[in-house]
Structures are given as structure tokens and as C-alpha cells.
Structure 1
Amino acid sequence: MGMSNFYQELREKVGSELIFMPCVAGIIRNKQGEILLQNKGNGEKWSLPAGAIEIGEAPAQAVVREVWEETGLYVVPKRLMAIFGGDKFRYEYPNGHKVEYNIFMFECDIQGGELCPIDTETNKLQYFNPDNMPELALPYPKHIFTQTDSNELYFQWNKTWLNELSNN
């Protein structure tokens, strides 16, 4: 779908400056346990099917919509796997727009559809073995892709933050 009206209007006001962007990403596995990745064909690295959460949309709704738009697959979010954010999740698009993502990552089950993108953002879709994936556009920890049966939610944590807070 490209950029929504909300983000277009925001960009008209702030230009390419850094903005926070709440997003979702979906981990979709085939029967062999391989993970579906997307390539936009514009020089960006591979990524999970992902995108911005729209105004009034819950994260689980957003991942269903984004996966359908970018892959043609109907999915149901099975579990929240991880939450990412902070300066390591800043990204600059080829057009110069800067974002700092806050990402809700869901593991999703395919319910139907056909692997064929609905929007124009996707150039190529391919499944990869978690141990042999190409470099991704965002620095997700590698172990998140091999974590298939854990109910533990991964989130970024640095124990030095707690020490810094207690010293203030």
C-alpha cells in the first residue's frame, strides 16, 4: 500500500526528520520451518513482512493486514515473540526519511491465500532456513528465529540501565 495518509501528512510537516514509528513484523514459517522474507528490490536489505501500525489499529490487526498486503497470505498471530526499539532500530529509507521503530514481532500461522504480493512494495518473497538467512535490514538477534516453542517474550534489556537509574 505504501505510505498511509497519516504518515504522508506527518512527513509533509516534518520532512525527512527522525520520527517514532510503531510497527509490526511477522515471522511466518513453512512446513520445513523456513522463515519468509521480503525483498523490495530497491537496494534495501531483506526484511520480515512488516509495516507501520495505523491510527486506530491494534498491533495484531496490523500484522494481519501488513502480511496480507506484502505476501498475499492470510495469517493469524499465534503469539507475541518480541518487542524491539531504541536507537539500534533507527532506519533511513532510500528517500532519506528517518524512523525509529518500536516493533511488535508476532509469530503467525498461515490460514490461506497465495504467496503473491498485493502491494507494490514487494519485489521478491523467499523462504530461508533460520541458520542460513541473508543479512536483514534491522538488527534482530539471530536466536529469535530459532526460538520455535518458547512462550517467553523477548525484549531488549540492559542491566546497566537499572544501575544508572538507581544511581540517580
Structure 2
Amino acid sequence: MTSANLRKAMKTYIQNLREKVGTDLLLCPGVAAVIHNAEGQILLQEKASGEGWSLPAGAIELGEPPEEAIMREVMEETGFPVLIDRILGVFGGKEFRYTYPNGDQVEYVVTLFRCRIVGAQKPILDGETKSLRYFSDADMPPLALPYPRSLLFGR
């Protein structure tokens, strides 16, 4: 069994914590990707849960470096292999609190990476992803977390 399959077979760190604390607020380290196409539009993921649109993003697992976490999350949620260009910023605090539809509360500390797609570009939608789409600054829907638009669009 590969380490990726083993990780999926095991409960995640967050799932284990949730069994102990229920839906109470958790501080959670996460990663998010800013990915642009040739026209400068940003790639967003529409959540299958009805939460709306977000950057490709997710939690960092125990023992996982943030750089590996963002590459894993983008691949899992989009099917796109990426390389990291640079860190755009680290965000957190009350503005980065979120309550999921099931009532789970989190306060994220997010490392925001600028990434670029490399290799085969075949979107694979997982159970978390309803659709993927590129948006311009003018037509981008609201996101659950308040990333600075100036960083999202490189102004």
C-alpha cells in the first residue's frame, strides 16, 4: 500500500480531533493555491457540498510540509500537477474563521502559494469538487475566506 493510500485509509488528524471536541472551534494549519491561466484568470473550485467557490485548498496533515500539502491538495481537488512559484502570504485570525455546513468550526492559518500547472492538464473531480472554472477579477464570485484580491490577481 502506498503512503498516499495508507493516509486515506487512516483517519486524519482533524477527524481524530473532531471525535474529541465535536464541532468546537479548532485552530487548523492549511494551504491554498493561486493558479492563473494565460489570460490572468484565477482557478476556483466549486464545492460539491454547496459551500460555493474557493481556491484549491486544504488542511496540512501531521508530519507533512506545507509545500507537499499544497501539491497534494491541488492534485486531489483538481487533478492538476503543480509546482510552487512562491509564497504569497500567511493569513489567519478571526477573519479566517469558518463554519462548515455540518457545524464544524475552524480558524485557519493559511499559507497562500502561487502555483503553476505542469504536465498533463486533465481535471479530475473528487467527491469535494462539483466543478472547476477560471474567473477574471471582475466576475469572480465571493470566497469563504477573505484573501486580499491584490494578491489573488497580482496587483
Normalising to structure 2: TM-score of the pair?
A: 0.89
For residues 76-113 of structure 1, give each alpha carbon's deviation from its aligned partner in whole angstroms, at most 9, with x where no partner exists: 11100011000100000000000000000000011123
Aligned to 1:28: 35
Give the conservation status (yes or no) of the 8 Å contact 2:44–2:134. yes
Give the conservation status (yes or no) of the 8 Å contact 1:68–1:118. no
Aligned length: 147
* Structure 2 CA distance for partners of 1:11 and 1:75, relative to 1, 3 Å: same
Mapped pair 1:43 → 2:50: yes
* Structure 2 CA distance for partners of 1:62 and 1:45, relative to 1, 3 Å: same
* Structure 2 CA distance for partners of 1:138 and 1:115, relative to 1, 3 Å: farther
Mapped pair 1:106 → 2:113: yes
Q: Which one-letter code corresponds to 2:150 in the other structure?
A: H
In structure 1, distance between residues paired with 2:94 and 2:104: 15
Normalising to structure 1: TM-score of the pair?
A: 0.82
Q: Aligned to 2:89, what secondary structure does the other structure show? A: strand
Mapped pair 1:18 → 2:55: no
Cα displacement (A) at 1:145: 1.7
Cα displacement (A) at 1:38: 0.4
Aligned to 1:145: 152
In structure 2, stretches of 5+ residues that fail to align are: 1-7
In structure 1, stretches of 5+ residues that fail to align are: 149-168
Q: Which one-letter code corresponds to 2:123 in the other structure?
A: C
Cα displacement (A) at 1:118: 5.0
Q: Please provide the CA RMSD for this pair.
A: 1.6
Q: Which one-letter code corresponds to 1:41 in the other structure?
A: A
Mapped pair 1:53 → 2:60: yes
In structure 2, distance between residues paired with 1:113 and 1:119: 17
Aligned to 2:124: 117
Q: Which one-letter code corresponds to 2:66 in the other structure?
A: P
For residues 20-73 of structure 1, give each alpha carbon's deviation from its aligned partner in whole angstroms, at most 9, with x where no partner exists: 110000011111111100011322121000000011111111000000000000
Higher gyration radius (CA):
1
Aligned to 2:138: 131
